[in-house]
A and B are shown apart, each in its own frame.
Chain A
Amino acid sequence: MKVSGKDVENVAGLSRLRITEDKMDKYLIEFNDFLEYVDMLQKVDTENVEPTAHVLPLQNVFREDEIKPSLDRDMALSNAPEKENGYFKVPRIIE
């Protein structure tokens, strides 16, 4: 096994997901399957292959530095679960 239960918990924590005990085995198997698949890919000889930074054959897509209208504030806030004085309201954050 390449990953332990601790790794799964760590990844879940970083992604703000809560994992129940009964799902742990399932995730462990899936994570290991992924990584074994990646191991397989790692064996491919890429000696003369350029690294791929992007899947599309495109480069240098730019826009000019010109101001476009922003959203109306009410519209911007319309999907917010909570708002206050034109702000998005979120639970208090303490590190």
Chain B
Amino acid sequence: MEYEAVIGLEIHSELKTKTKIFCGCETSFGAEQNTHVCPVCLGLPGVLPVVNKRVVEFAIKAGIALNCTINKFSKFDRKNYYYPDLPKNFQTSQFDLPIAEHGYVDINVDGRTKRIRVTRIHMEEDAGKLVHSGNTIKDSASSNVDYNRTGVPLIEIVSEPDMRTPEEARVYMEKVKSILEYIDVSNCKMEEGNLRADVNVSLRPEGTEKLGTKAEMKNINSFKMAENALEYEIDRQREILEDGGHIVQETRTWDDNKGMTLSMRTKEQAQDYRYMPEPDLVPIITTDEQIEVLKQSLPMLPDARKTKLMEEHGLSAYDAGIITNSRAMAEYFDDIICDGADVKLAANWLMGDLSKQLHAENKDIQNSPVSAKYLGKMIKLVEKGVISSKIAKEVFGEMWKTGAEPEAIVKEKGLVQITDTAAIEKIVDTVIADNPKPVADYKGGNVKSIGFLVGQVMKASKGKANPGTVNTLLKTKLV
């Protein structure tokens, strides 16, 4: 029997506010343990939480960007459970009236667009961090707790189980990250845990509707990990079903080192969170006008930007998709072409040499040693025929090293392309004289051998000859 996987994601994203959701403690990452805590986030008796206005704004923005309906009446609830990373013994979250519901995200897999429905987005507080003193959790006699992260604002984005492959789940996660970055509500630094997902997966015979029993994997904090964990889990469940077994509903943990999922707890021990309305926080009422103001404040989102690059600049869907995946890259691209540099060349340089260099040196595009403006200037030098595209690589390397203007580099290094036909002709004559065999081959009908001759001329001119001129000259001389 063929099985189909049914996958849903709960993405938790930390919001980039200066302070926590219910108190004025700083949210910055990496502070010394327990230095960003106060009576409110430590849950000391008698304190009153007050909602950070920006958290609500950010959550509404995320709701709009993910095509949700914003609930004009929203409230907080207590989710009760005992765990030492939660000083109050409950997490302040939202239960039945979340800030946003009924949205969707369109993803692109294998050139096809698929709509993934977003069930809801709610606001909640993050928990603290447990540090184990022994080598592994099992040989620690005790655990240490740092409450700096307790109360850092989160939004949880819950999807419908609309994904069918690990790849779709990864692409969905990437798309949500991209949108949150565009609207500037989260830093989305995976390595700092700004974005993590709980992944649900079940299998059912292909062509059937009824959902199978699912397993949940918590705290997946990279795209690759999500894809790997799902692949493993789907295989594991398929094997059990094929052997005639039953899937147990349970929470599993993904062990990235071992490359497998392990059982954490089964449903019998499952939590009963006993949600109750949070009596210390009053409801949040949002008006149509407020929603409209926030909507107007949003930048152009990845999909719209991609369409624009395709329609106005004629880029392919693939190129436009890569460039608009990150807002920083899309903005860099706009800056390259704003002074008239060729769009296609700009796309090639951005996705090619620049991305490669950035990747090699582990740099963000925002900190690129080559500015978009200079790259644009360099591309225009290529277009005008001042330098060849081969020389452009040298100029680019120099710009990367020194940050100098391309014109200055070309001038200083004498890299200007030789367009003077007489000068090139001389080199062409020498090459023809020195290479009787390829010349004879070409004359004998092997047109490919002209490539070798062009190469020789380019080499002799140290790449400065205009390849077009070289080609024409060779062809005329070899008739």
Does B478 touch A at the CB level, under 8 Å?
no
A79 to B147 CA separation, bound complex (whole angstroms): 14
B53 touches A63 (CB 8 A): yes
Binary contact track B88-113/A, C-beta < 8 Å → 1, others 0: 00000000010000000000000000
Judge whether A67 is part of the interface by a CB distance below 8 angstroms: yes
Whether the pair A56, B23 counts as a contact (CB closer than 8 A) is: no
Q: Please pick, from B23, B50, B277, the residue contacting A54 in the complex, using a CB distance under 8 A.
A: B277
- Please judge, given known A-B contacts A14-B272, A61-B51, A67-B19, whether A93 and B283 are in contact too, CB under 8 Å: no
Q: Quote the shortest CB–CB distance from A40 to chain B (angstroms).
A: 20
In the complex, which residue of chain A has the Cβ closest to the Cβ of B58?
Answer: A65
Residue in B24, B34, B42, B131 whose CB lies within 8 Å of A63:
B24
Q: Tell me if B289 is interfacial: C-beta within 8 Å of chain A.
A: no
A60 CB to nearest B CB, Å? 6
- Docked-complex contact B143 and A93, CB < 8 angstroms: yes
* Residues A88 and B145 in contact, CB atoms below 8 Å apart: yes
Q: A51 to chain B: closest CB distance in Å? A: 10
Q: Are A59 and B284 in contact (CB under 8 A)?
A: yes
Whether B17 lies near A65 (C-beta < 8 A) is: yes
B285 within 8 A of A: yes
Selected interface stretch from A20-28, A30-38, A70-78: A70-78
Identify the interface centre among B32, B39, B277, B283: most chain A CB within 10 Å of its CB.
B283
- List A contacts of B145 (CB < 8 A): 87-90
1/0 per residue B30-41: CB within 8 Å of A?
Answer: 001111111100
Q: Nearest chain A CB to B205's CB is how many angstroms away?
A: 32
Contacts of B401 in A (CB 8 A): none
B265 CB-CB contact with A under 8 Å: yes
> Taking CB as reference atom, which chain B residue is nearest A93?
B143
**Which residues of A lie under 8 Å from residue B141 when comparing CB positions?**
92
Q: Closest CB-CB distance, B52 to chain A, in whole Å?
A: 5
Contacts of A87 in B (CB 8 A): 33-34, 131, 144-146
Nearest chain B CB to A89 CB, angstrom units: 5
Q: Smallest distance from the beta carbon of A81 to chain B beta carbons, Å?
A: 11
A68 within 8 A of B: yes
Please report the C-alpha to C-alpha distance between residue A7 and residue B278 in the assembled complex, in whole angstroms.
25
The reply on B338 being an interface residue by CB < 8 A is no
Complex alpha-carbon distance, A87 and B283, angstroms: 35
A84 to B145, CA, bound (A): 9
Nearest neighbor of B145 in chain A, beta-carbon distance: A88
Q: Please measure, in the bound complex, the distance between the C-alpha atom of A16 and the C-alpha atom of B82, giving whole angstroms.
A: 8
Interface residues on B, range: 35 or more
Interface locus among B132-140, B178-186, B328-336:
B132-140
- CB 8 Å contact bits of B198-240 with A (1 = contact, 0 = none): 0000000000000000000000000000000000000000000
**Inter-chain contacts of A56 with B (CB < 8 A):** 282
What residue in chain A is nearest B273 (Cβ atoms)?
A: A14
Known: A63-B24, A84-B133. A92 touches B140 (CB 8 A): yes
Contacts A62-B50, A76-B42, A87-B145 hold; do A54 and B282 have CB atoms under 8 A apart? yes
Find B144's partner among A59, A73, A79, A89 (CB 8 Å cutoff). A89
Please report which residues of chain B, range 382-407, place their CB below 8 angstroms from some CB of chain A when the two chains form the complex: none
Q: Are A53 and B52 in contact (CB under 8 A)?
A: no
Partner of B38, one of A64, A70, A84, A91: A70
- When C-beta atoms are compared, the residue in chain B nearest to A63 turns out to be B50
> Does B83 interact with chain A (Cβ within 8 Å)?
yes
A95 CB–B CB distance under 8 Å: yes
Given the contacts A16-B82, A60-B282, A92-B137, A65 and B143 also touching, CB distance less than 8 Å? no
Q: Are A71 and B37 in contact (CB under 8 A)?
A: yes
**Cβ-defined contact, A71 with B19, below 8 A:** no
A44 within 8 A of B: no
Kindly state whether residue B305 has any CB partner on chain A within 8 Å: no
| B54–A61 CB distance below 8 A | no
Closest 5 CB pairs of A and B: A68-B24, A87-B144, A62-B53, A65-B54, A90-B84
B→A interface (CB under 8 Å): 17-19, 23-26, 32-39, 42, 44, 50-56, 73, 75, 80, 82-84, 97, 130-133, 137-138, 140-147, 264-265, 272, 274, 277, 279, 281-285
A-B contact pairs, 16 of them (CB 8 A): A53-B97, A53-B283, A55-B279, A58-B282, A65-B18, A66-B18, A66-B24, A71-B37, A73-B34, A76-B38, A76-B147, A86-B34, A87-B144, A89-B142, A89-B144, A89-B145
